[in-house]
Structure 1
Amino acid sequence: MSGELGAFVDWISSGRLHGRGPELARFDALLADSRCGRGNTHLVSGPVGSGKTALLQACVDRVDDALVLTATAAADERDVEVGVLEQLLRSALLPEEADAAVGALLGELPGSGRPHARPPVADLVQGLCSAVLELTRHRLVVLAVDDLQHADPASLQALLYLQRRMRSRRMLVLLTELTPTPPSLSVFHAELFRRPGCHRAKLRLLSEDEAAAVVGPELAPAALAATGGNPLLLAALVEDGHAAAPGPDGLVVAESYRHAVSSALLRMDARTVETATGLAVLGGPADPARLARLLSLPAQTVGQAIGALTDTGLVSDGGFRHPSAAMSTLDTLSPEGRAGLHLRAACLLHAEGAPPRAVAAQLTTSGQAPEPWMVELLRDVADEALAADEIEQAADCLELALFACQDEPGRAAVMALLARIEWRNNPSAAVRYMRPLRVALRRGRLGDRDAGMLVRYLLWDGRIDQAEETLAWWAESVPGGSEELRFTRRWLRHCCPALLSRRGEGEDRVEVGAADGVSIAASSVEAVDALAAMLSTGPSQGIVDSAERVLQSQRMDDTNIEALCSALEVLLCAGSLDDAQTWCDRLLAEATDRRATTWQALLSGIRAEIALRKTDLPAAVTHARAALDLMPTQDWGVFAGGPLSALVLALTMLVRHDEAERELRRPVPKELFETRYGLQYLYARGCHSMAVDRPHAALADFENCGRLMTAWRIDLPALVPWRSGAAEALLRLGRADRARALAEEQLHRPGVEGTRTRGISLRILAACADPEARGPLLEEAADLLQADEERLELATVLADLSNANHSLGHHLEARTLADQAMRVARLSTAEQFWQRTRPPARLTALSDTDGAATLSPAERPVAQLAAAGHTNREIGRKLFITVSTVEQHLTRVYRKLNVRNRADLAGRLHLTMSETA
């Protein structure tokens, strides 16, 4: 007995299957009546899985004082004459005399086992039925026939023969049949129910309350929605519930459910199964007329089949109740048959004017696109899906289009779009398209936009020689140039200047302004033009405005991500850090929502650089690690230098030198050092070498960086301030003259005026100057760094200024500046780094023994300078605070120290004017 059947029988016998109780009671009554010599026939009908067989078995199990003869009709035995009747008579041990009589009728010679000719069918039926009737003389006989719809005609005639003669016999005939019943049984039914003693019952599917008795009240609603109350399917769900974790609705729909669906379909007629497969292919709710056209079946036949599927509980409102049921239905088809049906569905939907996406779904499932219109439709749907960030659907459409496309330009365009899709989440996977795309470009089969993409992706992967060769082919194919070619050259100018330098291409004149028109291509050109201008002339308001315009005008996609990153880098290099952070965070959130891994990684790398410039070192580490974690190093190619450099610098400034060393041991491609990202890497490595007291190694990296930037004509301190690093190393090595020369050179580079780079350069010059000349240089540097909110450098400048004042005998000012330097350093996340690397201050801050224990850190330097006789304006200038703030601090100082004026304050702090001289 199968698992499902056993479960049914147990449920029926135990009363758990509440909906079958009346049927058992009816059977008991008929059984009692038949024992009294009043023969009865009971026909139970119902859809597949409704429990007919289980009910029949449960009834048979209740009989303990009768001869029970059973048979199951089968579709593949319908042509076997008296097959069902023979099963009945061979299903139990008959009395010897009856057994011999039956054997003789069935053509068996007693004692030999050899067959002999059977009598004609009519005589055979009469003889076998007489043998059955004879058995009723001695005991109650119960005949049980399952799946009557498959019985052979002769056995049906035998059942009618018995029914006409059993009314006064001790006989009970139990029959089950599947609904809807085939037309071939209509005559049988008409004849059967003409006679008395013939009863009929139709099994219905279970209600929610009845289903609850099977699966429990909590799961009953979801189970009923998935099964329609079909006991076979409910039993499968119970079995699945023991084998897997539940879904969101608490229900487990797994292997047993799918097997039950397949089992139910196998018991249905061919037209119903064919209709089910068509419904699974088209999806529900079904349009019967469309389904009929798909299957080339009469609409009436399809309607009847849908009715049968609905009665079974597989279908509701013209669609499958559960996706697993549809999948199991499709599994009944061969792979070829399934593909062919999906292709027919695609053609049908296209002819009816269905949405292209519905047609494309059928084509991709079929794996075929033999018609030209199909390839064109797949490309259109892929474009639409890509715009909606439905990457998997776009890839499925394009892969089939590539397989089916016959013309070479079309194949190249499809392949390029596939490369873009792959690159969005896995740049390494896009590499497989590079070679065929290069061949297509060489043959003139690749479009302008795709040629630019090819050059950029080759560079990303470190294939600089191939990128150079590809650029040459492309330039030859468009003698007059193009907007896309111009964009790519500009992009290469700042990203891989070595490539254009090797080609001998001079630096073009760059004019930055509003892009002509509103096309994405024009806006992208404006972005890289702005960055190119930045590298040539330094920052300007016009360049910053141009970058902002690009960021405001474009939605991020595969064609403009490089342009948007370029615009962010303009803001970063120009020192517009708050604007850069706002835009970068906005784009990063969008990339995350759209699940574009490569975009996320690129933007996280830029976000790390922004945090680094703002001396938000923990954030810089977080964003840099996020960038490197999003993609493995091999996927980053040469672009790994960006986030890796930011991470090394941030870890170095956090005095986490072991971690920085580990990051520097990451393997990077040698081609990295032919790109801008190699410059960043060299600079970061040099800074780390300085921090761990390896000035010679640091100087080598800084100078190498400088040689490359000079050769590539992008020697802009805002990009990489290599001279500052080299000058620091030279000072450490005692070569002040060379350090001074580098600092003076840097002061005259484009874009230095009014920036933090000028402040750093002035600090280095001051370190090389005589004590008398240091003050003005350091004060100007402090002003610039205060405006730039560069706390770490500002703290260093203030410490230098403190030492300069001390060497000149200005001890009170030196002490005040030392206190101010410490306070600024504490506001920085790099205080520990500053403590280890700053010049040692020769004066400490005002101590508590000076009577200032009650003063706050902000009030102490104000009190010191006021006691030394400085005016409020002078104090504000020296401490980089407003006069109003000075006045507020002094009011609180006077109150805390109980003094009235500056003279009292000096006495209270044990200071005199002579002490500061």
Structure 2
Amino acid sequence: MEHRDYRPAVSLLGRSAELELLQKLILGARNGESSALVIRGEPGVGKTALLRCATESLRGTTLVRVDGFEAEAELAYAGLQRLCAPLTPFLDAVPSRQRDAVQVAIGVADGLAPERYLVGLGVLSLLAAAGQTQPLLCVIDDAHQLDRESLEVLAFVARRLQAESVVLLFAARDGDELEMITAGVPTLRLGGLDSLSAAQLMKDSAAGAFDPYLAARIAEQTGGNPLAMIDLAQDFTLQQLTDASVSDEPFPIGRRLELHYRQQLRTHPDDVQAWLLLAAAERTGSTELIDQAAERLGLGGQSSALAERSGLVSFARDTVSFRHPLVRSAVYNAFPLAERRRMHGALAAASAERGLLDDEARHAAAAASDTDDDVADLLEAAADRAGLRGALSSRARSLARAADLTSDTGRRSRRLLAAAESAAGAGAAQFALSLLDKLHADGMDAVARGRSITLRAMLAVFLADPAGVIRGPRDLLAAADAFHGVAPELEQRTLIRAFELALTTEWMMHDVTLDQLGVRLREGATVQDGPLAVALRALSAHVLLPYHEAVPLMREALMLLQQADDSELLDLGVFGVALATGLWDERACVELLERSARAARDAGSLRGLDTTLWVLSISELVRGDPIASGLYIEQVRELRRAIGYAAEQVVNASYLAWSGAPRAEVEAAAQTTLGTGFGGAHTIAQTGLSVRDIAEGHYVAAFDRLGPMVNRPFLQVTYQQLPDYVEAAARSGHLDIASAAARQLRGHADISGTPWIRGLADRCAALLAPDADAEPLYVAAIGWLEQSTAIGDLARAHLLYGEWLRRMKRRRDAREQLRAAVAIFERVGAPPFAARARSELAATGEHSQRTEVVGVASLTPRESTIASMAAAGRTNQEISSTLFISTNTVDYHLRKVFRKLGASSRRQLAEILTP
């Protein structure tokens, strides 16, 4: 770590605009703003020179520089360890869970393997703390050679920077993998120099006088690549350059420049060439390790000194560095494979002598020419060490290579399967599938077969493969069958996954019926006792038994979940949503989901959190609170942005319907779900549209939309549609159908007895009752719903009661109910219902305008989310963990919110946002 004061900037030909951009970013950090940038370009285009020039004139700024090394690409969190090492004085300012995750990841503490996004939050907090003292500039050169775990964490941090006084600069070669990992981070594409600057560079680099025309011609031929032009000007004769300049062949850059460096290599003695190959094979550049290996190979003691004189390498702080990555590549590829393996063998032995176990495994694997079970064991041990630090990508790669070196088919398959599971856990779905494709049935026992089937089914969901999604429940039942009799806990967990996936695919699932699933769940409950058995009995009862028989078992399982601690809740999954909703216990449903979200957030399990937040957004719509739903949707978008996905793809058609989006937009969003295999998403979209139809008085359309869904019942999903079905049927003249649905609701109310279902049953009964009997039912409905958290249903009860009172010519009483409806609908953000309530109120002779909270419309989505959370009493630390941003960024946005809304405290904020 360096603390930089002002020094005159080194001039850099043709890069004034790029330097100005970097200087602007650094100046922003001094003003409390953060930024990140990926500088991309071909080898030799000047990325490193640009970074060096931009950082030479810093004043009052802390500089941390980390270079990527190809050798460390297999060493999990190696780059992150070097970045964090100089910042350890600031670790005490990092929240404890995040701090522990960072320390375990970089290998300075023992503990449970952390999720890499929890590591990312810890690094974000660490950089923010360091930036409090003075602006912090982190330069990551050759980022394409960082280990994947470090690059993913740093890309995560780069996407979340805003108000930490931190600048994160990456320089890297072009590549699809790097582009994917750094998606969402601003990019600067560095091209060749313009013709004038390129010609000037050629003239400045040549030993003698240089013809301007020749310089311009060579600049054109090399595409303005600075490294190519400098080396050509210094290493080729003027005649060679003149001859080449009139040729149609391009000058040597990339592969051709590498050939040039190889020719330079061959001018040196054999022992110097061998030492250079050894250095190229040991990419960390450790001179002690290289010299120890050189001694084993019998290379002369002067080899390293002669290598330095060659100009191809240089030495600093016991580390050897090649003049350029292309030089290293040229040296390494100049020798046959057998010679490269010999060097790796010597380095493996030297690493073993020094106790460098991971290096030993890596070099031993590179030295192996055929299957080698001893080396495979070394790699598996290295993979296990990576796994202890949460480095799933490194674990997957090491296990995959170990499998290649394994002679026994069974052990090879076990390693491939473990590698595939680690790859899937790291988000490398295609890599995981490629490993599964290498499995041989002869090498797998029943448990391995079940694991492989399970993993394929889960990957289909991750990749949104429609064919794989709709057959997923069937495949998971097949996996459970494989586990039967040999792995009872795996069997039970897989059956619960099958049920959860059935909720995702719903009516679109193939080759298995809901009843068949229920029977298999019931069988699975008998294989062993425990919490999973309780859950399976409840789920099978939910599927197979009449409601009054299923409820006691469902309550038992729900109570089990409520009594579990957060970590157990996260482990058990989200099946409790189906039970709580089926019991009409909306309060328990949301509380379980909020606890699950907190547990996933604390653990850094972003995939689990993504699912939970999405289900929360749906549950809030079931309660009739679009604003609350929208806040969760925005949290999903923040999460997707954090991991580099396009947040614009996060669309909930039901939310759009509730919140008054154009109907064509909602219909289009609903239609797109049909091709995904996610039948549950289509049902949710259609349900939202039916609610919109009811709000706008299109009862026939609502009845026609709800009818097919109610007539193909799917557990609690259909239960929730019954109140809307009653209203749509009653108002469209289908009284018999409405009465039958209302009777079913009443039966549920008598058995379940929660305030929510009692209120809904009374509201539906009031719709169908004679005028003489309706009023007590409306009053009872409102009373029950006031005891629930289903605020939207309460508002709808006020609306229906107010409409009935107006028809009864009781305008004064109607106004009271309709005012209450308008107030709630506006508070929860349901414009179609609010418009209907205001229209009814106008029909009583009272006009109500839509209330606007001054300044709220000017808030950005992130500001609105932060403001709502602050108003609800969440601390800055809680908000930062929820939205994956630093506390500095939370404070920055809150100051803007207070200024826009004219508030000076969280209490005032709550009053403003809750009219």
Secondary structure of the corresponding residue to residue 331 of structure 1: helix
Confirm whether residue 615 of structure 1 aligns to residue 616 of structure 2.
no
Question: Residue 519 of structure 2 is aligned with which of 493, 496, 506?
Answer: 506
Q: Could you tell me which amino acid in structure 1 is paired with residue 335 of structure 2?
A: S
CA displacement at 1:314 relative to structure 2: 0.8
- Following the alignment from structure 1 to structure 2, what is the Cα–Cα distance between the partners of residues 334 and 665? 59
Secondary structure of the corresponding residue to residue 626 of structure 2: coil
Q: Could you tell me which amino acid in structure 1 is paired with residue 727 of structure 2?
A: E
* CA displacement, residues 716-745 of structure 1 (integer Å, 9 cap, x when unaligned): 36x751222322321232123321321221
Question: Residue 654 of structure 1 is aligned with which of 660, 672, 682?
Answer: 660
Distance 1:767 1:663, change over 3 A: same
Distance 1:543 1:330, change over 3 A: farther
Contact 2:357 2:382 in 1 (8 A): yes
Secondary structure of the corresponding residue to residue 315 of structure 1: strand
**TM-score normalised to the size of structure 2?**
0.52
Confirm whether residue 828 of structure 1 aligns to residue 828 of structure 2.
yes
- Following the alignment from structure 1 to structure 2, what is the Cα–Cα distance between the partners of residues 691 and 417? 52
- Following the alignment from structure 2 to structure 1, what is the Cα–Cα distance between the partners of residues 434 and 657? 36
Report what 2:587 is aligned to: 575
Contact 2:293 2:350 in 1 (8 A): no
Contact 1:490 1:532 in 2 (8 A): no
Deviates most, 362-371 or 786-795: 362-371
- Following the alignment from structure 1 to structure 2, what is the Cα–Cα distance between the partners of residues 788 and 323? 71
- Following the alignment from structure 1 to structure 2, what is the Cα–Cα distance between the partners of residues 332 and 437? 32
Alignment of structure 1 residues 654-673 onto 2, 5 Å: 654-666=660-672, 668-669=674-675, 672-673=678-679
Q: Could you tell me which amino acid in structure 2 is paired with residue 327 of structure 1?
A: R
Distance 1:487 1:363, change over 3 A: same
Report what 1:446 is aligned to: 448
Report what 1:734 is aligned to: 733
Provide the aligned C-alpha RMSD in A: 5.2
Question: Aligned residues, how many?
Answer: 578
Query: Sequence identity of aligned pairs in percent?
Result: 13
Distance 1:400 1:805, change over 3 A: same
Confirm whether residue 374 of structure 1 aligns to residue 375 of structure 2.
yes
**TM-score normalised to the size of structure 1?**
0.52
Alignment of structure 1 residues 143-542 onto 2, 5 Å: 243=225, 265-284=265-284, 286=286, 288=288, 291-293=291-293, 296-298=296-298, 301-302=300-301, 304-306=303-305, 309=308, 314-321=314-321, 324=324, 327-328=328-329, 330-334=331-335, 336-337=337-338, 339-341=340-342, 343-345=344-346, 347-348=348-349, 351-352=352-353, 354-362=355-363, 370-386=371-387, 388-424=389-425, 425=427, 427=429, 430-431=432-433, 439=441, 444=446, 446=448, 449-450=451-452, 452-454=454-456, 456-457=458-459, 461=465, 462-463=467-468, 468=474, 471-472=477-478, 475=481, 478-479=484-485, 482-496=488-502, 499=512, 501=514, 503=516, 506=519, 536-537=550-551
Distance 1:784 1:734, change over 3 A: same
Contact 1:819 1:846 in 2 (8 A): no
- Following the alignment from structure 1 to structure 2, what is the Cα–Cα distance between the partners of residues 837 and 413? 63
Report what 1:794 is aligned to: 794
* CA displacement, residues 189-212 of structure 1 (integer Å, 9 cap, x when unaligned): xxxxxxxxxxxxxxxxxxxxxxxx
Confirm whether residue 553 of structure 1 aligns to residue 562 of structure 2.
no
Report what 1:11 is aligned to: none
Secondary structure of the corresponding residue to residue 417 of structure 1: helix
Contact 1:730 1:739 in 2 (8 A): yes
* CA displacement, residues 864-892 of structure 1 (integer Å, 9 cap, x when unaligned): xxxxxxxxxxxxxxxxxxxxxxxxxxxxx
Report what 1:816 is aligned to: 816
Secondary structure of the corresponding residue to residue 370 of structure 1: coil
- Following the alignment from structure 1 to structure 2, what is the Cα–Cα distance between the partners of residues 373 and 549? 48
CA displacement at 1:835 relative to structure 2: 2.0
Secondary structure of the corresponding residue to residue 320 of structure 1: strand
CA displacement at 1:778 relative to structure 2: 2.0
Distance 1:368 1:441, change over 3 A: closer
Structure (1 or 2) with the larger CA radius of gyration: 1
Distance 1:588 1:506, change over 3 A: closer
- Following the alignment from structure 2 to structure 1, what is the Cα–Cα distance between the partners of residues 614 and 352? 50
Contact 2:392 2:422 in 1 (8 A): yes
CA displacement at 1:468 relative to structure 2: 3.4
* CA displacement, residues 850-869 of structure 1 (integer Å, 9 cap, x when unaligned): xxxxxxxxxxxxxxxxxxxx
Report what 1:743 is aligned to: 742
* CA displacement, residues 471-495 of structure 1 (integer Å, 9 cap, x when unaligned): 4476266347611112222332343
- Following the alignment from structure 1 to structure 2, what is the Cα–Cα distance between the partners of residues 813 and 664? 39
* Structure 2, unpaired ranges of 5+: 1-201, 207-218, 228-252, 504-508, 544-549, 849-915
Secondary structure of the corresponding residue to residue 730 of structure 1: helix
Distance 1:794 1:756, change over 3 A: same
- Following the alignment from structure 1 to structure 2, what is the Cα–Cα distance between the partners of residues 269 and 704? 83
Report what 2:721 is aligned to: 722
Distance 1:274 1:432, change over 3 A: closer
Distance 1:242 1:847, change over 3 A: closer
Alignment of structure 1 residues 583-662 onto 2, 5 Å: 583=595, 585-586=597-598, 589=601, 599=608, 601-612=610-621, 613=623, 614-616=625-627, 617-619=629-631, 621-622=633-634, 646-662=652-668
Contact 1:795 1:821 in 2 (8 A): yes
Report what 1:5 is aligned to: none
CA displacement at 1:766 relative to structure 2: 1.0
- Following the alignment from structure 2 to structure 1, what is the Cα–Cα distance between the partners of residues 339 and 781? 76
Confirm whether residue 706 of structure 1 aligns to residue 710 of structure 2.
yes
Report what 2:20 is aligned to: none
Q: Could you tell me which amino acid in structure 1 is paired with residue 519 of structure 2?
A: G
Q: Could you tell me which amino acid in structure 2 is paired with residue 666 of structure 1?
A: T
CA displacement at 1:340 relative to structure 2: 1.1
Alignment of structure 1 residues 123-134 onto 2, 5 Å: none
- Following the alignment from structure 2 to structure 1, what is the Cα–Cα distance between the partners of residues 353 and 577? 49
CA displacement at 1:350 relative to structure 2: 6.6
Distance 1:263 1:694, change over 3 A: farther
CA displacement at 1:328 relative to structure 2: 4.2
CA displacement at 1:441 relative to structure 2: 8.8
CA displacement at 1:546 relative to structure 2: 3.4
Contact 2:739 2:768 in 1 (8 A): yes
Q: Could you tell me which amino acid in structure 1 is paired with residue 733 of structure 2?
A: G
Distance 1:541 1:477, change over 3 A: closer
Distance 1:359 1:619, change over 3 A: same
CA displacement at 1:346 relative to structure 2: 6.4
Secondary structure of the corresponding residue to residue 716 of structure 1: helix
- Following the alignment from structure 2 to structure 1, what is the Cα–Cα distance between the partners of residues 304 and 725? 85
CA displacement at 1:385 relative to structure 2: 3.2
Q: Could you tell me which amino acid in structure 2 is paired with residue 706 of structure 1?
A: V
Q: Could you tell me which amino acid in structure 2 is paired with residue 606 of structure 1?
A: V
CA displacement at 1:798 relative to structure 2: 1.1
- Following the alignment from structure 1 to structure 2, what is the Cα–Cα distance between the partners of residues 590 and 490? 24
Contact 2:696 2:836 in 1 (8 A): no
- Following the alignment from structure 2 to structure 1, what is the Cα–Cα distance between the partners of residues 828 and 388? 43
- Following the alignment from structure 1 to structure 2, what is the Cα–Cα distance between the partners of residues 839 and 846? 9
Deviates most, 770-779 or 437-446: 437-446
**Which one scores higher on RCO, CA 8 angstroms, separation ≥ 6?**
2
CA displacement at 1:746 relative to structure 2: 1.8
- Following the alignment from structure 2 to structure 1, what is the Cα–Cα distance between the partners of residues 658 and 329? 60
- Following the alignment from structure 1 to structure 2, what is the Cα–Cα distance between the partners of residues 504 and 589? 32
Report what 2:110 is aligned to: none
Contact 1:531 1:570 in 2 (8 A): yes
Q: Could you tell me which amino acid in structure 2 is paired with residue 827 of structure 1?
A: R
CA displacement at 1:764 relative to structure 2: 1.8
Alignment of structure 1 residues 898-917 onto 2, 5 Å: none
CA displacement at 1:826 relative to structure 2: 1.9
Secondary structure of the corresponding residue to residue 672 of structure 2: coil
Secondary structure of the corresponding residue to residue 409 of structure 1: helix
Q: Could you tell me which amino acid in structure 2 is paired with residue 564 of structure 1?
A: G
Report what 2:774 is aligned to: 774
- Following the alignment from structure 2 to structure 1, what is the Cα–Cα distance between the partners of residues 361 and 576? 38
CA displacement at 1:687 relative to structure 2: 4.2
